[in-house]
Amino acid sequence: MIKRNEKILKRKNTALLIIDIQERILGVMQNPEGVVTNTVKLINGFKILNTPIYYTEQYPKGLGETEATIKNALGEAKAIQKLSFSCSGAGNLFDELKEKEITQIAITGIETHVCVQQTVLDLLANDFQVDLAADAVSSRNSFDYETALNRMRQNGAEVTTTEAILFELLEVCGTEEFKQISKIVK
- Selected catalytic residue, list 41, 87, 115, 135: 115
**Among 41, 82, 131, 135, the one annotated catalytic:** 82
Residues 6+ apart with CB under 8 A from 104: 9, 10, 13, 14, 15, 128, 129, 130, 131
Is 82 one of the annotated active-site residues of the chain? yes
> Which of 3, 10, 12, 20 does the annotation list as catalytic?
20
Cβ count near 78 (within 10 Å) = 8
Would you call the peptide bond into 101 cis, given omega within 30 degrees of 0 as the criterion? no
- 135 catalytically annotated: no
Q: Name the residue type at position 36.
A: V
Q: How far apart are the two ends of the chain, measured CA to CA in Å? A: 34
Closest by CA position to 18, among listed 78, 63, 61, 62:
78
Catalytic-residue membership of 20: yes
Which residues are annotated as catalytic? 20, 82, 115
